[in-house]
Amino acid sequence: MAELRDLYQDIILEHSKRPRNYRALEAANHKAEGFNPLCGDHFTVYLDVAENGEIRDVSFQGSGCAISKASASMMTQAVKGKRTEEAQKLFEKFHHVVTGKNGSEAEDLGKLAAFAGVSEYPVRVKCATLAWHALRAALEGGKQAAVSTE
């Protein structure tokens, strides 16, 4: 179990230091800002969604702690190429796991399961879910939306 926890820590640190898809997306047709006023984490999520609902491209920019940045990075990798409905379902599973509502769903998350341990630290749940809430707001709100963790 300790080896698995170490592996998960390594994954989170790697994505925090070298986030994937960290850039503004000029072709974005959906966009949302996420802000956590308690700690100052702030991200903008950009989506290029095709008419058929496929997420052709996704990116993010902003600043935050290692957990929030790694979560945003891994989220972009997880939803790229998926349909919007699939991204919404992935949000639900991820949220259930990090809030401790359903740990068994972690098996369906692949590398995102690295965040399962966040449920033991309630104050960090907002860090792990900030970009995900921004993703959901972008999917639901279209061109410009905003969300706060408070």
Strand-pairing partners, residue 63, are 42
Answer yes or no: are the C-beta atoms of 37 and 150 closer than 8 Å.
yes
Task: Give the CATH number, domain containing residue 133.
Answer: 3.90.1010.10
- CA torsion angle for 13, 18, 19, 24 (degrees, to 10)? 150
- Please report the pLDDT score of residue 88 as a whole number: 96
Q: pLDDT per residue over 7-29, tens digit each?
A: 568 899 999 999 999 999 999 99
Distance CA(107)–CA(127), nearest Å, equals 21
Element (H, E) at 146: strand 145-148
Residue position matching structure tokens 């959901």: 136
Instruction: Decide which of 141 and 143 is more confident.
Output: 141
Element (H, E) at 145: strand 145-148
Answer yes or no: are the C-beta atoms of 22 and 62 closer than 8 Å.
no
Distance CA(97)–CA(141), nearest Å, equals 25
Domains: count for the chain = 1
Q: Domain of residue 143: give its range.
A: 2-148
For the chain, the C-alpha Rg in angstroms (whole number) is: 14
Q: pLDDT per residue over 41-85, tens digit each?
A: 999 999 999 999 999 999 999 999 999 999 999 999 999 999 999
Distance CA(50)–CA(54), nearest Å, equals 5
